[in-house]
Structures are given as structure tokens and as C-alpha cells.
Amino acid sequence: MKIFVTGTRGLPDIPGGVEKHCQELYPRIVAKGHEVTLSTRTPYVTERLDAWEGVKLVHTHAPRKKSIEAIVHTFLSVLKARLSNPDVVHVHAVGPSLLVPFARLLGLKVVVTNHGPDYDRQKWGGAAKAMLRLGEKLGGIFANEVIVISRVIEDIIQKRCKRGSNLIYNGVTLPTQSDKTCELERFGIQPGNYLLAVARFVPEKGLHDLVDAFKRLPGDCQLVLAGDADHESEYSRSLKIKAASDPRIILTGYIGGETLNQVYSQARLFVLPSYHEGLPIALLEAMSYGLPVLVSDIPANKEVDLPEERFFRCGDVDDLTRNLASLLAKELSESEQTDLRALIVEKYDWDKIALQTIDVYRKAAPSAA
């Protein structure tokens, strides 16, 4: 089959949950004998490759303005898709899904992946939230098939769009852990003595709560915040100022490859204080390293099968502080590490996810299968 992909910033190694999802998924679909063309957003692409890991790349204009970036890019991408005549257009996220009716009017078969209710993100104003809700509804109603990444989103589609959907979880690849420390030394990170959060610097990730809670903890344990803002904002600036007031807090910016591998491998505890998630890939990555975790008790996080002691009340800095202190006093047993990695293999395997996604394409365009 010929698949055209939009709704993502691009690949490879472009920060973002949807981007990570696409980077893992589409090379596997290509390896199964299918042709995949992915439309990138030019402001995020540093090297304009023609293809990566067998995935063809077409570089498409997008204005570097968060309010219109996704909609303009998706409109232009759908036009390009029509010219290439694919069997299926795969649209990621609810914002780009505003263009699903337009794609259908052009005669295209469309699969939508709903990665979560983006209108819950605190960075959006009222008008933007209304448009995102509309995108969720239009995508849910007009797409030939809908993929959801959690049961929470499955329920939303059932209630708002009055239809069923295809539940396919996010995935993660079991890593080879690193015992090297050269990248940690570059940032002044003490191996085995730091908390880790991997996230964009936006309000809904709750990093401000984590910084406030961490500052209450005594001792020399460090906090590493791996990430940054896609669009510099008052929030991201204030978060960096807040972090700079404690020398134990280290900001690495966006990292990947061996640097991220070392940071995950040597951490003491992974923390995800989010107010909103679809199904967090960063959490699955931490679990794939057998890394102990502490996460907010939002529905998307609760869907991951973790012990109750691994959750704290979302937005409650006092509860987060108590749980951090308690977990830092414990050592994760070898059996717990094994259980975390076994859960990844069972539920979040990218090779299985690729096959499940291909099955959805066949449902959307049976004549092309």
C-alpha cells in the first residue's frame, strides 16, 4: 500500500511525542513492504533528506506560529497527498484533523490517530481549544478509520463521535543500557544520584510543580530536566528562572541518542508530573530501562499498569514532595525492574503496533490491500 503521513513535525530526531511515534512506526511499516511518504514541517527540519530509513520525506511549508502552524501545514500536505494519489492518508493529532473533511472531499481515504485531547493543554486559549475540539470531532466523524492510543481516548471518541475506534497503544523499544558517563560529565550530572524528567517546557507537563517539590528536599540529589520549549514563552522563561535558583537543578535542553541513553541509564528516579497526556512515550521509555517512576494520577498515566505507590495527586506539590522523599529512600528491587521491562514487551511493542496499524489501513482502503 501507499501511505501518506501528515500531522507530525517530521523525522528523524525532532522532539515531540507524535514525532517519536512516527519515527518508530513508519520504518517498520516500510520494512513490511509498504511505501510511506511523510510530510515534514520545514521550520523543524535542519537537514532536508529525501528519505530516512526507507520513509520518503516531502518538506512542506509551515509558518512558525503555534496557532496556525498545524492547520496551514496540513492543508498544504493534503494537496500534496492528492497529487501523489496514495491508498491512505494518515493524519496525526486532533488539530490537523480539522482537514479530514477536506481530504475526504478530494476523494482520499483517511486514517486519523487521536493522540489525546490537546484542548486540555494549558497553553491554548479559548478560541484555540474550541478549534481543537472541532478537529477531534471532525476527524472522529469523517475519517474512514480512527486509531486511539488509550482507553480514555477510546471513550471520548465513542461519546463525542458516536463510533468505535481501533485501540493501538504507543510503543517503546527495549534499549541497551549504558554504563558510560561521559555525556553526564559534560553537564555535571552525578551518576545514580539524580531525578529525571523528560518533557517539553509547557504548563501541562507540570514541571513547575516538580521544581517546587524538589526544592523542598534536602541533600545533594540532583534534578535533571531534559527538554525545552518548541516556542519560547513566558512559562518556559519563568521555569528556567525558577530552576536556576537551585544549583542542584540541571537543564540539558533537548537531547537524544547516546546522551539520552546515558541519562536514562544512570537515573535514580523518573518523574512525570503532567496534567495532560495521551499515552506518554517518555514514561514507557523510562520503564523500558527498568527505571523506577513516579507519575501524576491523571487517567492516561493510570492506564499504565503501575503500583499505586507510583502515583501522586496531580497538581498537589505537598503530595509530590512526600512521594519523592519516600521513593528516594527505597531501592528498586531487581524483580521490579524485570516486571517493568516485561510489561513493555507485552503491551508496548512497536513491531506489533506496526502490524496493527497496517490492519487498520486495510480496513480503511480494502480495495488497495
Q: What is the pLDDT of residues 203-241, one digit of tens each?
A: 999 999 999 999 999 999 999 999 999 888 999 999 999
CA angle at 7 for the pair 46 and 362, rounded to the nearest 5°: 125
Contact present, 146 and 357 (Cβ < 8 Å): no
Local confidence band at 250 (pLDDT 50, 70, 90 cut-offs)? very high
Reported as a single tens digit per residue, the pLDDT across 93-108 is 999 999 999 999 999 9
46-55, 94-103, 255-264, 278-287: which range is least confident on average? Answer: 278-287
Is the predicted pLDDT of residue 125 greater than 90, yes or no? no
Give SS3 for 271.
strand
Q: What pLDDT does residue 122 have? A: 63
Instruction: Give residue 205's pLDDT.
Output: 95
Query: Distance of CA 88 to CAs 200, 358, 368, Å?
Result: 31, 10, 9
**And the C-alpha cell for 53?**
530509513
- Domains delineated in the chain: 2-171+349-368 (3.40.50.2000), 182-347 (3.40.50.2000)
Partners of 5 in beta bridges: 38, 90
Measured torsion, CA atoms of residues 249, 252, 253, 256, in degrees rounded to the nearest 10:
-140
Q: What CA–CA distance (Å, rounded) separates 293 from 306?
A: 9
Q: How many CB atoms lie within 10 A of CB 311?
A: 19
User: pLDDT digit string (tens) for 11-59?
Assistant: 998 988 899 999 999 999 999 999 999 999 999 998 899 999 999 999 9
Q: CA angle, 68 as apex, 66 and 70 as ends, to 5°?
A: 80
Q: Alpha carbon of 35 to those of 2, 20, 228, 340, 368: distances in Å?
A: 5, 19, 33, 34, 12
Question: What pLDDT shows up at residue 69?
Answer: 93
> How many residues in total does the chain contain?
369
Cα–Cα dist 310/17, whole Å: 22
The grid coordinates listed for 248 are: 542542584
* Alpha-helix residue ranges (DSSP H) falling in 66-109: 69-84, 100-105
Q: What is the pLDDT of residue 123?
A: 64
Lookup result for grid cell 501523489: 84
Check residue 83 and give its pLDDT: 96
Bridge partners (DSSP) listed for residue 194: 222
Residue the block writes with cell 506496526: 354
Mean model confidence pLDDT for the chain: 93
Per-residue DSSP letters for 104-164? Answer: HHTT--EEEEE---GGG-TT--HHHHHHHHHHHHHHHHHSSEEEESSHHHHHHHHHHH-S-
324-360 pLDDT tens trace: 999 988 876 667 778 888 888 888 999 999 999 999 9
pLDDT, position 71: 94
* Burial degree of 91 (CB within 10 A; 0-12, 13-18, 19+): buried
Residue 361 has pLDDT above 70, yes or no: yes
At 52, give phi and psi (nearest 5°).
-145, 125
Residue 103's pLDDT is 98
Q: Could you report how far apart the first and last alpha carbons of the chain are, in Å?
A: 7
Q: Alpha carbon 314 to chain centroid distance?
A: 19
Distance CA 173, CA 24 (A): 8
| Integer Cα distance of 63 and 15 in angstroms | 18
* pLDDT score at 12: 93
In this predicted model, what pLDDT tens digit does every residue of 170-187 receive, in sequence order? Answer: 888 889 999 999 999 999
